[in-house]
Chain A
């Protein structure tokens, strides 16, 4: 078992527990933006894609890495754009707006 595995597991378990506690507190009102935001954050796999594409080890690994760069960056950009848009729509304010 690689030494890294234990420290990775450590980080994973703590993050998962923290995630569960935090996400439980997210208002159901915002469950759709929650999903698009976590999607955008998850797109951080982009950093791994950049490294594998930029290392240029084999042609195959470079091509796969580049596809991953495009796919994950599109998730990152799209996820933040749509979350921003959705949250901008949630307005409080007094009833009786003008129609």
Chain B
């Protein structure tokens, strides 16, 4: 076959790959067909990569094979991390994705420099800026999620102005390069400034805002790949990048809505700072607390139970104990379901994965909107490691910083039980009026220990 024929054949495999990618996401719409979706995604990627290895432009194989082996050696362990570590793994993979897109852009630039046509220079510049800032931003996000870096927001006065100035400088350098492609020494400066901006973008964002940030970074990583597709006129990159970018974008919108906040507020608001106390004189209010024995008795007498898990459940590694509780209650004929808030956990869907790993059937995992209608008919709502997503002040108290945020209406259940270490406020530093309600019982203690004590009581009581 002559090179032009081979090239055409490769293009055909790219079209096949694009179709495979679209089907992969389409089939992810339900857990039943999702596995098929992954399989077609794998096949599509394998076909495109294999075909590319036969590209006549590729003349040196030795190092490609070696680096593929290195990549697999890094990728497989990263695919086998524990489910609690999935958020940091995801942030790291955004970093890798953005890094590869940026490096390819840089390589393309230096192959052509200094004779880079203006239009192509703009494409490369934008691509490298987005790729670079996504790379450092994702590394910082991964560091925060892994708790190598402090989870709390790190802020200083005038921060937003400084950050925006840095971003503007990167864009100005890009424009100068478009006008004067011969100033090649500005290219590394532009990359450096973009890398710094990525750090500045994520450092001020707190741990609980990670679901939004991780989705935004996902979107940036996707768009940098799509832009690379523009630079190289490679359509399969554009399709994959656009799908990834759209996915990250939609997830960030969902996360923002679930917190009743705007993009700008998440990125520039540095939530989680000390909040002014809404209407003082809130201290010293009585709360009712209960022992594991009481909790077990109340649960055993219930017909309908809704468990609302939060990040605290994951921190305490309590999900397997929660599964035991689920089993024992279900055996007693009690209807147990889980109410999952969209921002519970550290990334979109995180709670579902943790509970699925603990072998809880997914048809028991309910979205916020579908569970809220049932809460008034629920006997017991058991809150495990969640706080702000159950705060009724979001519905009623206009002065509350989280006013307007959709919550899971646990306060409407006949009895609310909250497992919590102490009366300390949640990440947002906001008092939760839920704890002082007449129908609320506080269960003070470590989530894992407390749930296992309830399980012991329930199994000990004989049945």
Interface residues, chain A, with chain B CB atoms under 8 Å away: 1-2, 4-5, 7-9, 11-12, 15-16, 18-20, 22-58, 60-62, 64-99
B359 at the interface (CB under 8 A from A): yes
- The docked-state distance in angstroms from the alpha carbon of A82 to that of B398 is 42
> By the criterion CB–CB under 8 Å, are A87 and B342 in contact?
no
A16-B245, A61-B110 known; A74+B52 contact, CB < 8 A: no
Q: How far is the CB of B85 from chain A (nearest CB, A)?
A: 10
14 A-B pairs besides A52-B107, A54-B61 with CB distance below 8 A are A15-B238, A19-B25, A23-B250, A28-B349, A44-B236, A44-B237, A52-B111, A60-B107, A68-B103, A71-B99, A77-B72, A87-B38, A89-B83, A96-B327
Contact partner of A74 (CB less than 8 A), chosen from B72, B80, B342, is B72
| A50 near B58: Cβ-Cβ < 8 Å | yes
In the assembled complex, the Cα of A28 lies from the Cα of B111 at a distance in Å of 44
Of B48, B79, B90, B214, the most chain A CB neighbours within 10 A belong to: B79
The reply to whether the CB of B347 lies closer than 8 angstroms to some CB of chain A is: yes
A47 CA to B47 CA, complexed, in Å: 11
Docked complex Cα distance between A71 and B104 (Å): 11
Inter-subunit contact B34/A87 (CB<8 Å): yes
CA–CA, A48 and B141, complex, Å: 27
User: How far does the alpha carbon of A2 sit from the alpha carbon of B226 in the complex, in Å?
Assistant: 17
Bound-state Cα–Cα, A46 to B47, Å: 12
Residue from the list B31, B99, B244 in contact with A41, Cβ < 8 A: B244
Taken together as a complex, chains A and B put the C-alpha atoms of A28 and B363 apart, in Å, by 12
Cβ contact within 8 Å between B64 and A54: yes
Binds A, one of B16-24, B167-175, B202-210, B278-286: B16-24
Tell me whether B89 and A35 are in contact (CB under 8 A). Answer: no
User: How far, in whole Å, are A61 and B44 apart by their CA atoms in the complex?
Assistant: 27
Docked Cα-Cα span, A91 to B350, in Å, equals: 16
CB <8 Å contact, A22 and B74? no
Identify the B interface with A (CB < 8 A): 14, 17-18, 21-22, 24-26, 28-31, 34-35, 37-38, 41-42, 44-45, 48-49, 52-53, 55, 57-61, 63-64, 67-68, 70-81, 83, 86, 89-90, 93-94, 96-97, 99-101, 103-104, 106-108, 110-111, 117, 119-120, 214-215, 218, 221-222, 225-226, 228-230, 232-251, 254, 323-324, 327-328, 330-331, 336, 340, 342, 347-350, 352-353, 356-357, 359, 361-365, 367
Question: Are B63 and A99 in contact, with the CB atoms below 8 A?
Answer: no
User: B60 and A89: CB pair below 8 A?
Assistant: no
Rounded to whole angstroms, the CA-CA distance of A81 and B95 in the bound complex is 18
List, in ascending order, chain B residues with CB within 8 A of A56's CB: 59-60
Q: Is the CB of B79 within 8 A of A79?
A: yes
Contact B60 A77 (CB under 8 A): no
Q: How far is the CA of A29 from the CA of B349 in the complex (A)?
A: 6
Q: B100, A71: Cβ atoms under 8 Å?
A: yes
Please judge, given known A-B contacts A5-B230, A52-B104, A97-B327, whether A75 and B365 are in contact too, CB under 8 Å.
Answer: no
Would A58 and B97 count as touching, CB distance under 8 A? no
With known contacts A22-B26, A27-B30, A73-B71, A95–B86 Cβ distance under 8 A: no
Residues of A within 8 A of B60 (CB): 53-54, 56, 62
Chain B residues in 8 Å Cβ range of A91: 356, 359, 361-362
Q: Is the CB of A41 within 8 A of B243?
A: yes
Question: Quick check: B38 and A49 within 8 Å, CB to CB?
Answer: no
With CB as the reference atom, state the residue of chain A lying closest to B234: A48
Contact A20-B25, Cβ < 8 Å, known A38-B222, A77-B79, A90-B362: no
The answer on a CB contact under 8 Å between B83 and A45 is: no
CB A60 to nearest CB in B, in angstroms, measures 5
Decide if A8 touches B235 in the complex (CB within 8 Å).
yes
Distance of B102 from chain A, by nearest CB (Å): 9
Tell me whether B76 and A78 are in contact (CB under 8 A): yes
Contacts of B330 in A (CB 8 A): 95-96
Q: Check B350 against A80 for contact (C-beta < 8 Å).
A: no
The contact sample of 26 A-B pairs, CB cut-off 8 A, is A5-B119, A16-B245, A19-B244, A19-B246, A20-B250, A32-B353, A33-B353, A35-B347, A37-B37, A38-B25, A39-B94, A41-B21, A41-B25, A42-B221, A42-B243, A45-B101, A49-B100, A65-B104, A70-B67, A70-B68, A73-B68, A80-B79, A82-B86, A89-B357, A90-B352, A91-B356
